[in-house]
Structure 1
Amino acid sequence: MPATAKTLTAKASAKPRSPATLRTSVGRTERNCSVARTLDIVSDAWAFLIIREAFFGTQTFEAFRSALGLPRATLTDRLKKLTQLAIFRQVAPGSSQRKEYRLTKMGFDLYPSFIALMQFGDRWLSKGKPPPLTLIHNNCGCDSHPIVTCSHCGESVGARDAKYRDGPGAGRSPAKSGRNTRRPSDGSRFVLGRPSSVSRALEIIGDKWSFMVVREGFFGNRRYDKILTELAIAPNILTDRLNRLVASGVFYRRQYQSAPDRYEYLLTDMGRDLYGPFIAMLRWGDRWLSKGKPPLILTHLKCGHDFQPSVDCDRCKQPIVAADMRYRLAYDPRSFGALGPRSVE
């Protein structure tokens, strides 16, 4: 994802186009984006909840169902899709006929993105309450509050610390059908099951339009007409998402014209803090879904080098890996019909 508006506007290579030119014979097109590809998976609430439970040691159909209360048909469908996507693999342990669903290397590699989202939720969405869980890093034995860093120099990276240029996968492609662009009318499903700061974060950016509008903020597009043109989005949907993002504290409005009144939408400190989770998801999408052609290449302004985002322990500076983490919970998972995590202190 890009950094500041000033830097990004200078780097952008594509000229503004009208909504009509952003449509092809097969429908709407959109910017190639590794973060969007990652959110194609985790912005489906059921898929996200299943992956989250897997990180806590859940492996069987009935254990997933107990923790999440999903209808059997829904759970069967999502487990099948996640297996087809190679997030899970099916295993029949020993002579048992009962199959287990275990995360693949690709699935485990989502863990840093979840942790980056968790840190955002802890900082901004806890409403003064203690976070649902505390991370303990086995490598250093410390309570850990992971940070997103530059893979070259190891220093933290924020929205004002990086610039970008087009990578070999840059361009536009037909919009993928079936994406989660609609907000659920019955309240967010992300909060089902155990308390979760990741769930709280995805309540804000978990539908694709909300994510894309925030992404345009990182690309330096602040004005309604510019965002409308870039996304080829219906005006009523854009108005709804902007209003929601302002209400949630991600954007603030600033008037730049009167008679008629017109406003631009700028990222708040909270909104800019989404940069870390965004580029953590970008790294995963680049690695697993870009076929070796990342759409963007990031450069760290402090050290001057291209970099891959890394989610590291803030104490020992080592990359966060799911197998190296223990947890201290502020709730009893049994109250939610859920397992562990098994490594609870």
Structure 2
Amino acid sequence: MPATAKVQRAKPPVRAAARPVAAQAGAARRERNCSVARTLDIVSDAWAFLIIREAFFGTQTFEAFRSALGIPRATLTNRLKKLTQLAIFRQVATGSSLRKEYRLTRMGFDLYPSFIALMQFGDRWLAGGKPAPLTLVHMGCGCDSRPFVACSHCGEGVNARDVKYRDGPGAGRHPAKAGRNTRRASDGSRFLLGRPSSVSRALQIIGDKWSFMVVREGFFGNRRYDKILTELEIAPNILTDRLSRLVSNGILVRRQYQSSPDRYEYLLTDMGRDLYGPFIAMLQWGDRWLSRGKPPLLLRHLPCGHDFHAEVVCDHCKQPIVAADMRYRLAYDPKSFGALGPRSVS
């Protein structure tokens, strides 16, 4: 059974058959409009992600960010400037002091559910048998919470096989940034700097833009090498590298479907399919803040029959979670990492 047995694509518009990637040499590569990709353009920069994560733990000053992350001053200045320009942060003067603090905007705080969805994935699949770094406590109901991604209409959990998608008003393609089709993977270990973090472990695997796009094609039902190559217009050596990485990390499994010559397809594993929740949580953020009211995809939850968006909700009270309502029990001492302690409970 395909990994996306019930995930169906609306009938695509008629278009010319795609030419082989090699035949398009010199032509501008175009990539699918995608709200998840737009979100990852921000958080897949390791330094930007780490700064946003520390802000969720209450860090607001330049020196506190530097202490927690060991980040070079010039790099920190650059990322804070960029995140302020993107409206993730705003600068606030503190009293009569010339020093300014960096505080999350509403847009920035709204990334929290996506981070929690990634954290839950990391806790389930990447903990290596060790306790999760954080235990979440939802102050709204007072319970230890294991949030999950739910349908905004019926409140039930969502998985890829129960969702049908179709093109939205923002569907289409746009010119890719120059050089992206030959970009090599960056050092994913940078995501692990600072305090222990299950979100970091998840982004170490899918934070690389090409790795994400290959996994996304799996959710679209594209699992054969040539199909992925044509769809992404990716350099063959880069695609081979990302497929190998995703197989070794347990996200995909390689299966032979033809011999003489040998041909293989790449299927999402249970672990890979479990990324669907974090993906559509990030899709919701990208739709809300970056699509200008024109989401590229519309989702329908088959069990309830309604269009929906992803909500990350408490598993006890089923209410959407927000950063201000969450407290934490830590399995580590933040002082050991030069970091601030988040809002905690005894």
2:313 corresponds to: 312
Distance 1:144 1:11 in 2: 40
Contact 2:162 2:302 in 1 (8 A): yes
Question: What displacement does 1:104 show?
Answer: 0.1
For each residue in 1:186-244, what CA deviation from the matched residue of structure 2 results, as whole angstroms up to 9, or x when unmatched? x5200000000000000110010000000000000010000000000000000000000
2:19 corresponds to: 18
Matched letter for residue 85 of structure 2: Q
For each residue in 1:3-44, what CA deviation from the matched residue of structure 2 results, as whole angstroms up to 9, or x when unmatched? 825643565557652245996987211000000000000000
1:189 corresponds to: 190
Question: What displacement does 1:343 show?
Answer: 3.2
SS of equivalent residue, structure 2 residue 94 = coil
Equivalent runs, 1:196-215 vs 2, <5 Å: 196-215=197-216
For each residue in 1:80-119, what CA deviation from the matched residue of structure 2 results, as whole angstroms up to 9, or x when unmatched? 0000000000001111111000000000000000000000
Contact 1:204 1:210 in 2 (8 A): yes
Matched letter for residue 244 of structure 1: R
2:93 corresponds to: 92
Contact 1:19 1:230 in 2 (8 A): no
SS of equivalent residue, structure 2 residue 256 = strand
Matched letter for residue 65 of structure 1: R
SS of equivalent residue, structure 2 residue 186 = coil
TM-score (normalizing by structure 1): 0.95
Equivalent runs, 1:32-71 vs 2, <5 Å: 32-71=33-72
Contact 2:10 2:167 in 1 (8 A): no
SS of equivalent residue, structure 2 residue 66 = helix
1:146 aligns with 2:169: no
SS of equivalent residue, structure 2 residue 136 = strand
For each residue in 1:252-285, what CA deviation from the matched residue of structure 2 results, as whole angstroms up to 9, or x when unmatched? 0111000111110000000000000000000000
SS of equivalent residue, structure 1 residue 160 = helix
Does the C-alpha gap of structure 1 residues 235 and 305 become closer, same or farther in structure 2, counting only changes over 3 Å?
A: same
Equivalent runs, 1:1-345 vs 2, <5 Å: 4-5=4-5, 7-9=7-9, 11-13=11-13, 17-20=18-21, 27-177=28-178, 181-185=183-187, 188-345=189-346
Question: What displacement does 1:313 show?
Answer: 0.3
Contact 2:9 2:166 in 1 (8 A): no
Matched letter for residue 8 of structure 1: Q
Distance 1:247 1:56 in 2: 32
Corresponding pairs, count: 342
Matched letter for residue 197 of structure 1: S
Q: Which runs of 5+ in 2 are unaligned?
A: none
Contact 1:5 1:218 in 2 (8 A): no
SS of equivalent residue, structure 1 residue 27 = coil
Matched letter for residue 136 of structure 1: V
Contact 1:135 1:326 in 2 (8 A): yes
Distance 2:105 2:155 in 1: 27
Does the C-alpha gap of structure 1 residues 81 and 179 become closer, same or farther in structure 2, counting only changes over 3 Å?
A: farther
Q: Percent identity between the aligned chains? A: 81
Does the C-alpha gap of structure 1 residues 258 and 178 become closer, same or farther in structure 2, counting only changes over 3 Å?
A: closer
Q: Which runs of 5+ in 1 are unaligned?
A: none
Distance 1:278 1:68 in 2: 26
Contact 2:10 2:166 in 1 (8 A): no
Contact 2:164 2:299 in 1 (8 A): yes
